[in-house]
Chains A and B, each alone.
Chain A
Amino acid sequence: MILQVEDLSVAYYGKKIVRDVNFSVEKGEILVIAGESGSGKSTILKSIGGLLGKGGNIIDGQIFFDGKEITNLPDSERRKISGDSIGYIFQNAGASFCPIRKIGEQIFESVKSHRDWSKNDFIARAEEIMLKINLKPEILEEYPFKLSGGMAQRAGILAATILEPKLLLADEPTSALDIVTQAGVVKELLKLRERLKISIILVTHDLKIAKFMADKVLIIKNGSQIEFGTKNQIFNAPQELYTRELLEAANL
């Protein structure tokens, strides 16, 4: 088991956003967290990644990653696993790069926080990955605003996976993209899982993507867990009324 979440409750400024959520992810597995906008999906992902930010607190429950508890890690400990064994892909990857510095420089900088690779090592590794995710090597020398949505998202994948993390957290990685680019990014993520045996937690409101990618699905409504099960259970034999409603709304 790579990640286990037990009775997780999260509050922002004292207001409970997520209540008693339980799930687990095995090595090489893709878990999709699905639900409406504002249901607390991203909050769950942020609490795993340690990105809750100001006013956000895990008020109850525990998160275990790779056998160790990471529920409320101090910054210095969190830094060691962030980017190294846990990667994060953002909804708007273009905005996840600092606007005034070149893509390659930024990724190299985050690599240096964990490994003492030389610039040439880094470029070699980056280009190897870029080849696999259809990204031109020249991108490393570009500024973020020059990238299209799909390219930025792939650059985001490069940044999140260059250190071969065990767990990849993806927050609506496709929702800012057009259908064709969406399909491309989804395929890259699936290939990535094949190649690295990486576990992925993907947050989305798009049940079609969930059905295409997921091994397990967690359905969330208003911060509470509605249903958690394998793809088969959720899509073919949903137990809860809300799950059925969601599936109907998505024409599945």
Chain B
Amino acid sequence: MKSLTPYFAAAGTLIFIAVFADFLTPYDPYVQDLEGALTPPNSTNLLGTDRYGRDVLSRVIVGSQTTLCASLLLLATISTVGSVIGAICGYSGGRLDTFLMRLSDIFLAFPQMVFAIAAAGALGGGLLNAAAALAVIGWPKYARIARGLVLSIRSMTYFDAVKMSGSSSVQILFAHVFPNIAGPILVTAALDIGTIIMELAGLSFLGLGAMPPTAEWGAMMNNGRSMLQTAPWVILAPGTAIFITVATFNLLGDNLRDVLGGQR
């Protein structure tokens, strides 16, 4: 069996940096110094400064907090809400099932990012609104997976057996249904972290997510876009950070799937 330790260690380091970002920054990420604007990387500012003279390294570190925490929270919300909706649909069936599944069909029918841009735009930007827009398009996937898993559990003998033992629906859901679908849901969620980070950073890049002066990787890249030729470090630093983070979580998800044997 493959070892997951290096992937967990890498992801753990990123999360550690995000959580303790405030203590790890060499400079205050929000203090402007217009005299020292757009300094290339050197020994004092390891990744240079942006157009307001703010230390890019500090902003990338603090930005990880915004991006990673928002993404993980968002993911936890949609995977939980989606799975619960899906599990209830699969378990109860009938009209409720039909209604919720057609609703999820409607959301799945839109190109995800286009819908998110429209929704975030309509809601008026801001990190919270961007996350809400992504949540609206994110849950149906989990509802679908959970529903399918529950339907397959329902056809198992042990499902009849717990029913025959006189357990209540709530008991059956919590003791037998949720624990049995947790594995595949977890793997799907792990594979989704990268996508969510990209989508959230993407919305911020378009100006629909985090608002200035909040340090956020997507917004930082947008800031540095016009200076790509003259001061490439401003856009390269957050870009590389996104790349490393997304790659780390995707690798973690892939290997988690191999080990847990989830389905996709």
Contact = CB atoms under 8 A, between A and B. Distances in A.
Interface of B: 93, 156-158, 160-169, 171, 175-176, 179-180
A80 B158 contact: no
A113 B165 CA distance: 8
Nearest to A97: B158
Contacts of A98: 158, 162, 175-176, 180
B168 A113 contact: yes
A110 B157 contact: no
A109 B163 contact: no
Of B163, B169, B171, chain A has the most CB atoms within 10 Å of the CB of B163
Contacts of B158: 95-99
A106 B164 CA distance: 13
A82 B179 CA distance: 23
Q: Decide if the interface of chain B is mainly helix, strand, loop or mixed.
A: helix
Contact of A88 (B156, B161, B176): B161
19 contacts: A50-B164, A79-B166, A80-B166, A82-B166, A83-B165, A91-B157, A92-B157, A96-B157, A98-B158, A98-B162, A98-B175, A99-B158, A101-B175, A101-B179, A106-B162, A110-B165, A113-B165, A113-B166, A113-B171
B164 A49 contact: yes
A49 B157 CA distance: 14
Contact of B166 (A51, A90, A91, A114): A114
B20 to A, nearest CB: 36
Of A79, A98, A159, chain B has the most CB atoms within 10 Å of the CB of A98
Contact of A110 (B93, B156, B162): B162
Interface of A: 49-51, 53-54, 75, 79-84, 86-88, 90-92, 95-101, 106, 109-110, 113-114, 159
B187 to A, nearest CB: 16
A83 B167 CA distance: 9
Given A92-B157, A101-B175, A159-B165, 6 more contacts: A49-B164, A51-B163, A83-B165, A96-B157, A97-B161, A109-B165
B166 A100 contact: no
B160 A110 contact: no
A98 B167 CA distance: 13
Nearest to A80: B166
Contacts of B93: 54
Contacts of B180: 98-100
A114 B167 CA distance: 9
Of B157, B162, B166, chain A has the most CB atoms within 10 Å of the CB of B166
Nearest to A109: B175
Given A92-B157, A95-B157, A113-B171, A100 B179 contact: yes
A49 B164 CA distance: 7
Contacts of B157: 90-92, 95-96
B161 A79 contact: no
A152 to B, nearest CB: 11
B161 A82 contact: no
A84 B167 CA distance: 11
A80 B168 CA distance: 10
A68 B171 CA distance: 27
Contacts of B169: 75
Contact of A109 (B160, B164, B171, B179): B171
A56 to B, nearest CB: 12
A75 B168 CA distance: 9
Contacts of A84: 166
B175 A95 contact: no
Nearest to B93: A54
A159 B164 CA distance: 11
A113 B167 contact: yes
Contacts of A79: 166-168
Contacts of B164: 49-51, 82-83, 86-88
Contacts of B168: 79, 113
B86 to A, nearest CB: 17
Contacts of B166: 79-84, 110, 113-114
Nearest to B183: A100
